[in-house]
Amino acid sequence: MLQVSYIRENRDEVLNRLTVRNFKQPELVDQIIQLDDDRRQTQTLLDSISAEANAAAKKIGDLMRQGLKEEAEGLKQQTNTFKEQTKTLGDKLTAIELLLQNELVLLPNLPHTSVPKGAGPDENVVALEHGVVPQLPETALPHWELAAKYDIIDFELGNKIAGAGFPVYKGKGAKLQRALINFFLDNAETAGYREMQPPIVVNEASGFGTGQLPDKEGQMYHIGIDNLYLIPTAEVPVTNLYRDVIVREEELPIKNCAYTPCFRREAGSYGAHVRGLNRLHQFDKVEIVQVVHPDTSYNVLEEMSSYVQSLLQKLELPYRVLSLCGGDMGFTSAKTYDMEVWCAAQARWLEVSSVSNFETYQSNRLKLRFKGKEGKPQLAHTLNGSALALPRIVASLLENNQTEKGIRIPEALVKYTGFEYID
């Protein structure tokens, strides 16, 4: 959430940067400033009347001690008026603050100055490509057919148990899942991330803190009777570990990672682009999260991008890095890199990771601050990235590595799987 003070002091800059996002409600900026004006005026009047009421109360006490009861009683009538005015203004202030809060949460984060302007995915910028795209024979199979051929993933069985988008992994398919999770966690630990095992349900305050609520409420599975939400990503519980916390400056950067299942109510359309593992309602993911000093956050973003790329290189997957344009970035992000891997049988790029810097947008909602030995607490910067999401990694591994002997396992994974081929 943007800070009102920043919006007031930088109105034109805010409007200009929102155009990079192709934001459709620029009038919100002036509405927020006007509400803040109303809030300030009401607060000033309330403070003034409260001060008069306090002065009158003190004077009444003095008059009573002097035995001037009749004058004191007359002044008491005036204090009753002060009480009524105070209550009226207090109620008005509460209503204005609620309106202001409701308007602020509708305003997305401001894109960093390096973010390209654009309305959608077609205007993302390819920052780099790595690896050689494999050339497969015409008989090559997409991963959903390979899954059936080797009996490692059963989409129909998952559909029977839960519905579309909930596959069942079997035999070497299940072992491949476990191998990837352990591979990602071990690499994260080597890179200095501390492993966490958070809850996979969160309350409203947690969803609000990282920006899933109210923006993505319809995309989350809601447990109505308990008013809890299944997490769409480990970013939510891990970042909320620091909600309402002031950390010491010397503790920064804070680096955490977590493996969790993830749940998303994404509406799946028909066609090969959402078939098989391309889009699921439940999937496994290892997430990395950092809380850092504002002066270092963009260096950290580059470091996190490089780290995710190192995983793809170890898995021998050709990939590309996209710098997302303003119109394709998430609501809370200031800058995002997407990593896409090449799926050879489908002949298309599939997103497997997003690495984002949120600057103070999340920390302002979370009230996550840091404090040095001197000075006031200030908002930290938060970042997160998928490192990595499993379904499309598995899809790419199956499709890119299919051979006559079976599906070859990348060398870096063999010690985790215990086998070199799925056959």
- Please report whether residue 299 resides in a domain: yes
Which residues are annotated binding-site positions?
233, 264-266, 287, 351-354, 384
Joined tokens for residue 423: 């056959």
* Judgement on whether residues 256 and 400 belong to the same structural domain of the protein: yes
Instruction: Give the residue numbers spanning the domain of 53.
Output: 4-104
Query: Residue 232 domain-assigned?
Result: yes
Question: What pTM value is reported for the model?
Answer: 0.92
Longest dimension (CA), the chain: 107
Q: What angle do CA 179, 184, 189 make, to 5 degrees?
A: 125
As a whole number of angstroms, the distance between CA 202 and CA 230 comes to: 7
Binding annotation for L-serine: 233, 264, 287, 384
Q: State whether 169 and 100 are in the same domain.
A: no
Helices (H), 254-317: 297-314
Say whether both 131 and 95 belong to one domain. Answer: no
- Is there a domain that residue 114 lies in? no
CATH number, residue 334: 3.30.930.10
Query: What tens-digit pLDDT sequence spans the chain (423 residues)?
Result: 999 999 999 999 999 999 999 999 999 999 999 999 999 999 999 999 888 877 877 777 776 677 676 676 667 677 778 888 899 999 999 999 999 999 999 999 999 999 999 999 999 999 999 999 999 998 999 999 999 999 999 999 999 999 999 999 999 999 999 999 999 999 999 999 999 999 999 999 999 999 999 877 788 999 999 999 999 999 999 999 999 999 999 999 999 999 999 999 975 445 556 789 999 999 999 999 999 999 999 999 999 999 999 999 999 999 999 999 999 999 999 999 999 999 999 999 999 999 999 999 999 999 999 998 888 999 999 999 999 999 999 999 999 999 999 999 999 999 999 999 999
Q: What is the DSSP letter of 104?
A: H
Binding residues for ATP: 264-266, 351-354
Round to the nearest angstrom and report the end-to-end CA distance of the chain: 51
**CA 282/CA 99 separation, integer angstroms:** 36
**Does one domain contain both 277 and 360?**
yes
198 and 67, same structural domain?
A: no
Instruction: Point out the domain boundary residue: 71, 104, 137.
Output: 104
- Burial degree of 153 (CB within 10 A; 0-12, 13-18, 19+): buried
Question: Are residue 144 and residue 90 in the same domain, yes or no?
Answer: no
Q: Residue 350's closest CA among 383, 313, 399?
A: 399
Instruction: Check residue 388 and give left, alpha or beta (phi > 0: left; psi -120 to 50: alpha).
Output: beta
Regarding whether 298 and 173 lie in a shared domain, the answer is yes
Q: Is residue 111 part of a domain?
A: no
* 188 and 81 part of one domain: no
